Amino acid sequence: MSELTSQTEKQSPLPTRYVDAEKLLEILFDEASRPSLRWIRDQQKARRLPFAKIGRLVFFDPVACKAALDAKAAGRK
């Protein structure tokens, strides 16, 4: 399983560490088309984006969030 994980990490240009909401927006969207921080919080509240909460802090996995957004976009087609 470690070989599969290492292959996935090599193929993915997204960071595999947890980031805050502002950094998630920077990673997933270019500056011209970036949604607002409020949009991220709305998606988080609706449980459309996966997140991890540690105490009062909220973190996002960019790879998992991109997969969730891609799945949502594929469902609309």
- Over the Cα atoms of the chain, what is R_g? 13
- Scanning the structure block, which residue is given the tokens 């509240």? 45
pLDDT (tens digit per residue) in 9-22: 556 677 779 999 99
Q: What does each C-alpha distance from 41 to 4, 20, 72, 74 come to in angstroms?
A: 32, 11, 17, 22
Question: 75 pLDDT band (50/70/90 cuts)?
Answer: confident
How many domains does the structure of the chain reveal?
1
Are 21 and 58 in contact by the 8 Å Cβ rule? The answer is yes
Residue 11 belongs to what domain range? 2-76
Least confident of 1-5, 21-25, 29-33: 1-5
Phi, psi of 50 (to 5 degrees): -70, 145
- pTM of structure: 0.75
Least confident of 2-11, 21-30, 35-44, 46-55: 2-11
The C-alpha atoms of residue 46 and residue 20 are separated, in whole angstroms, by 17
